[in-house]
Every structure is written in C-alpha cells, then in structure tokens.
Chains A and B, each alone.
Chain A
Amino acid sequence: GESVGLHLPTLSVQEGDNSIINCAYSNSASDYFIWYKQESGKGPQFIIDIRSNMDKRQGQRVTVLLNKTVKHLSLQIAATQPGDSAVYFCAETYTDKLIFGTGTRLQVFP
C-alpha cells in the first residue's frame, strides 16, 4: 500500500460521530485557506476553502473555521462515515503558491 502518511498524527473516530481536524498555518498575509482530502492511492482532492476575511464556511457535512488571531484552521466533519477515512491536508495561499501542512490521518471505525 501507499506509504504516504506513515508518520502522520492520527485521529480515530467512531462512525456517526463528528470529527474535528486542526491545522496551524504560518503566514498572517495568506489570502485563502483550503482543505484537501487524500485517499490511499489518489491525489489530493479539494474539499472546501475559506477566504481570509471570513471566519466560517459550511459545505455538505463539512465546516471550516478560521481563527486569524491564533493562525488556526479547523475542519469539522459531521456524522463521520467510513468513506471519510483519508489523510487531510490544510493549505494556505501565499505569493501565488499553495503551502501545505503535513496532514492528519482520519480513521473511522464502526
């Protein structure tokens, strides 16, 4: 199998519970923040984004919260399902590029 994420922090949740994945970002001048999901054997897929002038944005079963005071970003997944098992990356846009965090592995157990 893939070795991506071998040394990642891991969050284990029970199916049906809510998950919260956290991320600290580095640059207070970043414009956008994005969450990606990467399943085994696949490239990262866009989940949700938020502009720096917002503090909350909701999607389908997902919510992103941005706290600029402490440079913290979180992804909340409601009613976590087995299909949510993956590695989740936050990213920030800075000087025309995306800067990625190291990722968190989400494991969903029945």
Chain B
Amino acid sequence: QVTLKESGPVLVKPTETLTLTCTVSGFSLSNDRMGVTWIRQPPGKALEWLAHIFSNDEKSYSRSLKSRLTISKDTSKSQVVLTMTDMDPVDTATYYCVRGTLWFGETPTHYYYSYYMDVWGQGTTVTVSS
C-alpha cells in the first residue's frame, strides 16, 4: 500500500522559513517515473502546484514561487523535504505531498509528457502568524 505523510510545524512566524517533510512508503523514491509533488491549498481557495522532484533528483518549481522554494529528497529515508523561505500570512494553507508519476514520450514530430498525481497525503495545515 502506497502512503505519503506530511509533517512539519503547525505555526510559523512571518519571515521565517517553513520546512515540511513528506515520508513515503510502499514505493521507492528512486523508482523510474515516480516522484513527489507538493501542492498547497489556502483556506477556501483552489489547489496550487508548488514543486516536483523526479526520480533522478531533477527538480521543478512553480514559476511564481521558485525563488522561495527548495525541494530535496533522501531516498534512503524515503523522505522528501520542501522548504519555503520568507513566509507570509498569505502562505497559510494546507500543504499536500503527492506521488507524481511523470514520464516523457516522443513522436516523429514532437515530445510529450504524461503527468498525474495518483496518491495524496492527508495534508498538513500551516498557519503563518505572529
């Protein structure tokens, strides 16, 4: 059974750095095509894609938040860590880690990606307040 579980602080102060850990089980972070994505959802608002780490350790970030985000993994510990610097009250949200399957294909005329998020963690709520 594949599971992902987020952990981290419930409350952070403005300007602080948030560090969230996602511990996975049931699959390896080195499995081809399988990576981990972080998604967040402010209260009452839509989901927002944040970052993805590939099985080969490549990283991808939301363009709007790239300067504040770092994603990394420790395959031996089955953990993925997301850090977000300079936290602000608008960053108050539920943060989800998700198993993201991503693979790349080619045709004679173009290449294409298949990307989907098939197993979600329960989410962890982070409040930014002084």
Is this pair of chains taken from one and the same complex? no
Which residues of A are interface residues toward B (Cβ below 8 A)?
A: none
